[in-house]
Amino acid sequence: MPPHTRPDSSAEQDRRQQILDAALQVFSELGYARATIKRIAAAAGLRSPALLYWYFPDKAALFRAVAIEHAKLPQRLAALNLSANLPIEVFLERFARAFLEFFHDGQIAQLIRLAIVERHLVAETGFSIERDVPNNVFVFLDAYFRLKMADGTLREIDPRAATQSFLSQLWIQVGVRSFFPGLGPEPPEDDVFLPAMIDLFVNGLRSSAK
């Protein structure tokens, strides 16, 4: 089987997942530049690093696969079965809580730190949110705001700006709590932050007709 062919058997799928889990651990601990195929193969319990190439042609392809594997926030949001008919505060609170819980995860936070610190090296792996995660959270939230503006719940502004504004607040909360803790004043707990942020956001956009 060529190295670019995806394994079909259950055992091979399990081994592939084992490699991805080990790669996440090694990339998180050492960073992209210092991580080696030999170290990842050892963490995955492979008898020889050469076995890893059966699944991934090189380290860049492996990192890209790890990034795609862990870019699962859209699936987590889909599992919430968020209905556009929910009160907007409830919809945004559930969305925001899922977002924060996802990025507060220790390994995900470390992967994001790696992507920030080693962004030039990571860019060389070819990973792209737009291409590799087409149904990303920006697209999801942008569509929701467009719907709420169309039905008159929210006043009309550029929905992309509304989406960017909302996600920026969440990124700041994740950044100061999980990515780079200790860099500034102690941030509020999520249970304090979310209601206040959503109230300010929704009341700033709510249509006067509603």
Our measurement of the distance from residue 33's CA atom to the centroid of its chain's CA atoms, rounded to an integer in Å, reads 21
Six-digit token string for 187: 């941030």
Domains, in order of start, for the chain: 10-69 (1.10.10.60), 73-205 (1.10.357)
Close Cβ partners of 115 (under 8 Å, ≥ 6 residues apart): 67, 122
Q: What's the confidence (pLDDT) of residue 144?
A: 93
Q: What's the confidence (pLDDT) of residue 137?
A: 83
C-beta of residue 160 within 8 angstroms of C-beta of residue 142: yes
Tell me the pLDDT of the chain (210 aa) as tens digits. 445 555 557 888 889 999 999 998 898 888 888 999 999 999 999 999 999 999 999 999 998 888 877 766 666 776 677 888 999 999 999 999 988 988 888 777 777 777 777 777 777 777 665 555 555 788 889 999 999 999 999 999 999 999 999 999 998 898 888 877 777 778 899 999 999 999 999 998 887 655
Q: What's the confidence (pLDDT) of residue 84?
A: 87
Q: What's the confidence (pLDDT) of residue 37?
A: 95
Dihedral sign from CA coordinates of 180, 186, 189, 194: negative
Q: How do residues 65-75 score in pLDDT, each as one tens digit?
A: 888 777 666 66
Six-digit token string for 173: 């909360």
Eight-class DSSP state of 89: H
